[in-house]
A and B are shown apart, each in its own frame.
Chain A
């Protein structure tokens, strides 16, 4: 399928390095103006996929189109794409201005046009003051912005970013994320962003492409992917979750549910097929557990609170079920909660809407 506003169309793409199958069966449509994140643990193939799009590697099988044109065999310099490299790859022999002007000079644009485009782009990334600095005189965050400007000044149809914030410390990272959202709004360029950091992915993306072991696990909007992970891997990789070993049973009303060793019953979404008797894992996020029942939060089990981890705005309580299984409950600061006490049993409530049940064998 190719929609009218699709800018990148990847169909059944595979990539082999020797005998190692780095990617298989990748299908992905990227729409014009979107921010799409390729998210996954290291070795999942996200960087390989990005290098295929950039043209540094060729696909082994399948089809890759950019702007409707087949890209097989097209070298990187002929693709309507620019890239921000992980360690920026800024040219040390050129100053900031010349780094940004590099791509325009290659295209032999008139000098006046180069000047105005570079000036405008330096304004957007707020580096006009530093245009004559050399790269070794810049901070990490400044290098990052030069790298963005150097790529964006060419007005690429797609901007690729390979873990662009990995080398920056936490504070600058957050500022840069906001900065990138602002720049995206100002330029309207399609962004493809590679990261292993789920927070970056959720803050930035219109859609997240979750990869594992060379395959696409799930493609969804961040809210949707967090609320309804379609696999155990997705549930574990995006955010934190509690997993309870359960066995599938038939419920009294004929629907399918599951039961824990303590007798607690979990019903909820089953994104993958499960049948009666299967061993499974019931997943509930720590912030979906409560100490008070409500119309929604009607399922419950008994637990003892053994520990509290105070983080500031919230706390993580470690709790233990009667059979010894441990799990975590997240509470907001100021919310009433029972004291830490290894003896006292308390009721913990949740909503079946917040439960997903996955086959135990698959990861």
Chain B
């Protein structure tokens, strides 16, 4: 018996669909529902009210850590993209080396926590950087702000997520045929000109994806801020995690999570609008009368 294309499609996709429904879609919906519930003295009761949102949005701490998260996320994602674009271009269009590509993947062989601790060792008061600077006589006392700051969190996040960003950028570039670049140069563009007028517009979907995924991962990471952020480098991720882990105020945590989600959507829209305005993302095509 032969299944129709439609049914074989559903059959092939069903394990993923079921998994995503069970572990992503429903939990996300629960989160949304929870955000309207009531919490009082460790009791959560179903309700439909906006108290959690009001509380989150009027909380000075929430704004401060969210501002931190957005700044850290944007900074990390922008720096990651700025480094990933030339590296990705080099690997895809110039060297075409599989080996270099795999070396980037090797950085994933070490554990996430080990790498965070490595940065603590580097940036700490007795860390490599402070010790060297002190022994060179450039500073008298260790620079404490190196560790436990927004800077420390940013540097570590860039280190952690740069490989992802490079791989995502490379995937976007792999879609672009070399002869498009040749054609652009043949028609008078320099190498840089060809990159911005042909490579970027045609890879724009993948590049926006790379930026947004890096942003979401760096913005949402709450382990790095906890380990390296000190009091000034805390982010919303940690605040939300605390609502679930410590305070037990799931509805408030849910509301905060929903706000963060909306914030990401807002940034996504802003990126698209900016890309369109600057001409890096082709305008959505209109089917004009022929």
Contact = CB atoms under 8 A, between A and B. Distances in A.
B177 A154 contact: no
Interface string A80-123: 01110111011111100000001100110000000000000000
Given A56-B182, A89-B182, A91-B198, A82 B187 contact: yes
Given A129-B290, A132-B288, A132-B290, A89 B187 contact: no
A199 interface: no
B6 interface: no
A83 B186 contact: yes
Contacts, number: 66
Prevailing SS type, chain B contact patch = helix
Given A89-B177, A93-B202, A154 B187 contact: yes
A62 B241 CA distance: 69
Interface in B181-205: 182-190, 193, 198, 201-202
Interface string A133-153: 110000000000000001100
A77 B190 contact: yes
B202 A103 contact: no
A93 B193 CA distance: 16
A77 B186 contact: yes
Contact of B180 (A89, A133, A151): A89
B140 interface: no
Of A75, A77, A90, A103, most B-chain CB atoms within 10 Å: A77
Contacts of B183: 83, 85, 89-91, 150
Contacts of B180: 89, 91
Nearest to B203: A93
Which of B179, B183, B184, B290 gathers the greatest number of chain A CB atoms within 10 Å? Answer: B183
A130 interface: yes
B186 A76 contact: yes
Contacts of B86: none
A77 B290 contact: no
B282 interface: yes
Contacts of B186: 54, 76-77, 81-83, 151
A90 B185 CA distance: 13
Nearest to B282: A93
Contacts of A154: 187-188
A86 B182 CA distance: 12
Contacts of A130: 290
A197 to B, nearest CB: 20
Interface string A241-256: 0000000000000000
A150 B187 contact: yes
B185 A75 contact: yes
Contacts of A81: 186
A318 B193 CA distance: 60
A338 B145 CA distance: 102
A294 B156 CA distance: 93
A93 B201 contact: yes
Nearest to A131: B290
B187 A103 contact: yes
Contacts of B246: none
Contacts of A92: 202
Contacts of B201: 93
B182 A76 contact: yes
A91 B288 CA distance: 18
B98 interface: no
B257 to A, nearest CB: 36
B189 A106 contact: yes
Given A89-B177, A106-B193, A132-B290, A77 B188 contact: yes
Contact of B179 (A89, A93, A94): A89
B2 interface: no
A134 B180 CA distance: 15
Contact of A87 (B179, B187, B202): B179
Contacts of A90: 183
Interface of A: 54, 56, 75-77, 81-83, 85-87, 89-94, 102-103, 106-107, 129-130, 132-134, 150-151, 154
Q: Which 9 A-B pairs have the closest CB atoms?
A: A103-B187, A89-B179, A106-B188, A89-B183, A93-B282, A93-B201, A76-B185, A83-B186, A132-B288
Interface of B: 177, 179-180, 182-190, 193, 198, 201-202, 282, 285, 288, 290
25 contacts: A54-B186, A75-B185, A75-B190, A76-B186, A77-B190, A77-B193, A82-B187, A83-B183, A85-B182, A85-B183, A86-B179, A90-B183, A91-B180, A91-B183, A91-B202, A93-B202, A102-B184, A102-B187, A103-B188, A132-B288, A133-B290, A150-B187, A151-B186, A151-B187, A154-B188
